[in-house]
Every structure is written in structure tokens, then in C-alpha cells.
Amino acid sequence: MGNEHLDLSLTYEERAGDLLFLLGTILAFISTYQEEQALLTENVPTVKPKEIDSAMSITAASWLFFLASILFTHVAIVRFEELKSTANLKTSLVLTRGTKLAVIGDLLKSTGFGIAAIAYQLKLFYYKYKA
């Protein structure tokens, strides 16, 4: 019974991650539109407000992607730990290695999204102070 509760809790956590990722994707789409609009307006040597809006949208999206990836990584780690604790001779080597690789992949993904979020945050600071 305890495992069912944990599995349900992890499923809810994954759903929250999916929702954050979806919101991030919508913001990334909005950012692309805002950047397009900024490029189509008159060429002024200063940063236009639409460029700042675009930078803000993609920065927010990147932080949402990072948060979602942290949730996915947490779920993968908990599932791997659960598998290790219940593993026996019948547990497939493919299953344990696949789960371990999923954890490694999610950790790499979280690291990448974290670096990207910091990079976009720095770009946003640049645009705000240049304006």
C-alpha cells in the first residue's frame, strides 16, 4: 500500500512538471513572437521595449523549464531508489540500468536548463540596463 501512495505522489509531481514545462513552452512561443515584432518595428539604436518583453518572456520560460526538470529529476531519483530497495534476483538488469540512465539524463537536463536560465537572466539584465 505504501508503494501505491508513493507512485501516486510521484505521478502528481510529474504532472506538475509537465504543467510547468507547458507554461514555459507557451512563454517561449510568446517570446519568439515578441522578438519578431521588435525586429519588424523601426530600427532605433537603443533597445526597444518589445526586446525587453521578449527577454523577460524567454527568461521566465527558461526558469520554468529548469523547475520542471528538477521535478522530473527528483521523480527519477526516487523511483531509482525505490527500485534499488525492492530489487531482487528477478529484477531485470535492463530495468535497473535504464532507470539509472534516466536519472543521469535528467540530471544533465536539469544542469543544462539551469545554465540556460542563468544565461537568459544575464541577457535580461543587459537589456534592462542598456535601455
pLDDT tens for the chain, 131 residues long, are 458 899 999 999 999 999 999 999 999 999 999 888 878 776 655 556 767 888 999 999 999 999 999 999 999 999 999 888 887 767 788 888 999 999 999 999 999 999 999 999 999 999 888 75
pTM, 2 dp: 0.85
Instruction: Report which of 79, 77, 69 is spatially closest to residue 20, judged by C-alpha positions.
Output: 69
Ranges of each domain in the chain? 8-130
CA distance linking residue 20 with residue 12, whole number of Å: 12
